[in-house]
Amino acid sequence: MLLRAYRFSDKLGVVLIKLLVALTDATLGGLLALRRIAVWLVSPVVALTGRLFQGAARGGVSAAQGAMARRTAQREIDKTIVEDPLRRQNRLLSGLVLITLLALVSIVLWATNPARQPLNIPVVSNVSGAPDPAVETPLVTQSGVIVALPTPVPTATPLPEALQVRGTIAYTAHENGQSDIFALPIGSRTPVRLTDDAADDRDPSWSPDGRRLAFASNRDGNWELYIEDFPNEVVTRMTFDLAFQARPTWSPDGLFIAYESYIGNNLDIWIVRVDGTQPPLQVPGMSPAPDFAPAWSPNGRRIAFVSWRDGNQDIYLFNLDDQSVANLTNTPLRNEDYPAWSPNGDLLAFSALDEGIEKVFVQPVDQPGAPAQVVAGGRSPAWSPDGGSIAYTTDSLASASAQLIAAPYTDAGLITTILPVPLGAIGATWTSAPLPQAVVQARSGQRPLVDTLFVESEEPLNADPSYRLRPLNGVEAPYAALSERVNDSFNALRERALQEVGWDFLGTLQDAFWDINRLPEPGEERRNWLMTGRAFAFNRNAIVGFPAPVEIVREDIGVETYWRVFVRVADEAQNGQLGEPMRRMPWDFLAREQRDVQAYDEGGRLRAEMPSGYYIDLTELALDYGWLRMPAGSEWRANVNAVNYWMFYKPDGLTWFAAMREIYGEGALINFAPTATPTQVGLTAATLTALPPAAPSATAEEGG
- 643 is in which domain, residue-wise? 469-702
On whether both 388 and 481 belong to a single domain, the answer is no
What is the reported pLDDT for 689?
A: 39
**Residue 368 class from Cβ within 10 Å (0-12 exposed, 13-18 middle, 19+ buried)?**
middle
From 367, 394, 421, the end of a domain falls on: 394
On whether both 377 and 506 belong to a single domain, the answer is no
DSSP letter string over 459-521? ---SSSS---EEE-TT-BSTT-EEETTTHHHHHHHHHHHHHHHSS-GGGB-SBS---TTPPPP
Q: Is 531 helix (H, G, I), strand (E, B) or coil?
A: helix
Query: Is residue 7 one of the residues assigned to a domain?
Result: no
Supply the CATH number for residue 339's domain: 2.120.10.30
Q: How confident is the model at residue 48 (pLDDT cuts 50, 70, 90)?
A: very low
Share of the chain above pLDDT 70, in %: 72
What is the reported pLDDT for 84?
A: 54
Task: Determine the number of helices (DSSP H) and then strands (DSSP E) in the chain.
Answer: 10, 36
Tell me which residue of 668, 663, 687 sits closest to 679, measured CA to CA: 668
Is pLDDT of 411 > 50?
A: yes
On whether both 553 and 673 belong to a single domain, the answer is yes
Q: How far is CA 446 from CA 184, 234, 430, 439, in A?
A: 14, 19, 22, 12
Is pLDDT of 58 > 60?
A: no
Tell me which residue of 682, 699, 683 sits closest to 537, measured CA to CA: 699
Q: Measure the CA–CA gap between 153 and 370, rounded to whole angstroms.
A: 50
Task: Mention every residue, 6+ apart, whose C-beta is less than 8 A from residue 166.
Answer: 159, 185, 186, 187, 432, 434
Cβ of 702: how many Cβ atoms within 10 Å?
A: 11
Task: Look at 153-157, 223-227, 292-296, 302-306 and tell me which has the smallest mean pLDDT.
Answer: 153-157
More confident residue, 28 or 458: 458
Pairing assessment for the beta strands 281-282 and 266-273 based on DSSP bridges: antiparallel
Q: How confident is the model at residue 414 (pLDDT cuts 50, 70, 90)?
A: confident
Is pLDDT of 468 > 60?
A: yes
On whether both 232 and 367 belong to a single domain, the answer is yes
pLDDT digits (tens, 9 = 90+) for 168-187: 999 999 988 899 999 999 98
Is pLDDT of 91 > 90?
A: no
Task: Look at 67-81, 83-97, 293-307, 616-630 and tell me which has the smallest mean pLDDT.
Answer: 67-81
Instruction: Look up residue 165 and give its amino acid.
Output: V
Q: How confident is the model at residue 693 (pLDDT cuts 50, 70, 90)?
A: very low
Query: Is residue 31 one of the residues assigned to a domain?
Result: no
User: Angle 423-559-493 (CA atoms, 0-180°, nearest 5)?
Assistant: 40
What is the reported pLDDT for 158?
A: 74
Q: How confident is the model at residue 481 (pLDDT cuts 50, 70, 90)?
A: very high
What is the reported pLDDT for 218?
A: 95
Q: Mean per-residue pLDDT for 244-264?
A: 97
Taking the alpha carbons at both ends of the chain, their separation in whole angstroms is 80
On whether both 489 and 638 belong to a single domain, the answer is yes
More confident residue, 460 or 412: 460
On whether both 489 and 375 belong to a single domain, the answer is no
Contact predicate 348/362, CB 8 Å:
yes
Please enumerate, as own/partner, the contacts of 488-492 that have beta carbons within 8 Å and a separation of 24 or more. Answer: 488/454, 488/455, 488/456, 488/457, 489/453, 489/454, 489/456, 489/625, 489/626, 489/627, 489/650, 490/536, 490/625, 490/627, 490/650, 491/454, 492/453, 492/454, 492/625
**Residue 669 class from Cβ within 10 Å (0-12 exposed, 13-18 middle, 19+ buried)?**
middle
Is pLDDT of 502 > 50?
A: yes
Domain count, the chain: 2
Q: How confident is the model at residue 113 (pLDDT cuts 50, 70, 90)?
A: low
On whether both 474 and 388 belong to a single domain, the answer is no
Contact predicate 603/637, CB 8 Å:
yes
What is the reported pLDDT for 126?
A: 34
**Helix, strand, coil tally for the chain in percent (to 5):** 25, 30, 45
Is pLDDT of 108 > 80?
A: no
What is the reported pLDDT for 105?
A: 59
Q: How confident is the model at residue 133 (pLDDT cuts 50, 70, 90)?
A: very low
Query: Is residue 109 one of the residues assigned to a domain?
Result: no
Is pLDDT of 585 > 70?
A: yes
Is pLDDT of 340 > 90?
A: yes
Sign of CA dihedral 594, 597, 603, 605: negative
What is the reported pLDDT for 632?
A: 97
Query: Is residue 476 one of the residues assigned to a domain?
Result: yes
Q: What are phi and psi of 306, to 5 degrees?
A: -105, 140
Which segments within 569-627 are labelled E, that is strand? 587-588, 605-606, 615-617
On whether both 685 and 545 belong to a single domain, the answer is yes
Is pLDDT of 14 > 60?
A: no
What is the reported pLDDT for 29?
A: 57
Tell me which residue of 293, 629, 691 sits closest to 480, measured CA to CA: 691
Is pLDDT of 120 > 50?
A: no
Q: How confident is the model at residue 86 (pLDDT cuts 50, 70, 90)?
A: low
What is the reported pLDDT for 474?
A: 96
On whether both 357 and 244 belong to a single domain, the answer is yes
Query: Is residue 524 one of the residues assigned to a domain?
Result: yes
What is the reported pLDDT for 33?
A: 53
Query: Is residue 309 one of the residues assigned to a domain?
Result: yes
Tell me which residue of 226, 225, 219, 285 sits closest to 260, measured CA to CA: 225
Task: Mention every residue, 6+ apart, whose C-beta is less than 8 A from residue 240.
Answer: 224
What is the reported pLDDT for 666?
A: 87
Contact predicate 292/245, CB 8 Å:
no
What DSSP state is assigned to residue 123? -
What is the reported pLDDT for 491?
A: 98
On whether both 522 and 649 belong to a single domain, the answer is yes
Contact predicate 283/276, CB 8 Å:
no
Contact predicate 255/212, CB 8 Å:
no
What is the reported pLDDT for 659?
A: 96
Q: Measure the CA–CA gap between 177 and 452, rounded to whole angstroms.
A: 9
pLDDT digits (tens, 9 = 90+) for 25-47: 555 555 555 455 444 444 544 34
From 377, 394, 411, the end of a domain falls on: 394
Share of the chain above pLDDT 90, in %: 59
On whether both 239 and 371 belong to a single domain, the answer is yes
Is pLDDT of 686 > 60?
A: no
Is pLDDT of 687 > 50?
A: no
Is pLDDT of 503 > 70?
A: yes
From 357, 378, 394, the end of a domain falls on: 394
User: Angle 290-294-300 (CA atoms, 0-180°, nearest 5)?
Assistant: 140
Query: Is residue 494 one of the residues assigned to a domain?
Result: yes
What is the reported pLDDT for 415?
A: 87
Q: Measure the CA–CA gap between 601 and 316, rounded to whole angstroms.
A: 32
pLDDT digits (tens, 9 = 90+) for 200-243: 999 999 999 999 999 999 999 899 999 999 888 899 999 998 89
Q: Mean per-residue pLDDT for 644-662?
A: 96
Q: Measure the CA–CA gap between 531 and 420, rounded to whole angstroms.
A: 36
H/E run at residue 303: strand 302-307
Query: Is residue 27 one of the residues assigned to a domain?
Result: no
Chain mean pLDDT for the chain: 81
